[in-house]
A and B are shown apart, each in its own frame.
Chain A
């Protein structure tokens, strides 16, 4: 069965610190990969996605993620976080996306707290 694991459950950083959130998935075939963000009291919004091509993808608000196929990983990064990045971050995987169903497997989420 597919699964997604996010290593960090709660991360606390100071403003301007660099961020890396880990995400590993288990699925042997082709995947689509996503990072979603949920700001306090709001719904999930798409940060970035990887379908194919360049494994380094750039998203909104200065976020990027790197797909490393050999490690089954899709880690999220940001060089310098801001207080407004305080949110919960979810990694998600869609397996066998030749015929995309939109059925995503989500990780358990990482809460990021940025101190001003």
Chain B
């Protein structure tokens, strides 16, 4: 089994819909992150969490919210999806020497 699992792998949703992307990890790491990847822009940090009670905004948090349900679970929600949120979303955990990424969720908002 993968260390960091993201569901769904692919999702097409309509503008205005609420959608949740889920992430779970088996590594026992406290720190979890959500990034989005856009062509030509690299990865940009949306939210991160150091533990269940510690949630922090990243550089592009507008339009997103998160929930850290347990040490192993960190969900990303789009309350009202818009087309410019079409992207590849990665969840990751952090421990030396660096990130362990999930396989990504490709989200298309139409």
Chain A CB within 10 A, most for which of B31, B33, B41, B98: B98
A residues lining the B interface (CB < 8 Å): 4, 9, 34, 36, 42-46, 49, 90, 92, 101-104, 106-109
B45 at the interface (CB under 8 A from A): yes
> Contact: A9 with B40, CB < 8 Å?
yes
> Contact: A104 with B45, CB < 8 Å?
yes
Task: Mark B81-109 against chain A: 1 for CB-CB distance below 8 A, else 0.
Answer: 00000000010001001110111100000
Given known A104-B45, A106-B44, contact A49–B58 (CB-CB < 8 A): no
> Contact: B42 with A107, CB < 8 Å?
yes
Task: Mark B49-79 against chain A: 1 for CB-CB distance below 8 A, else 0.
Answer: 0100000001000000000000000000000
> Contact: B42 with A109, CB < 8 Å?
yes
Complex CA gap A10/B42 in Å reads 13
A residues in contact with B35, CB < 8 Å = 106
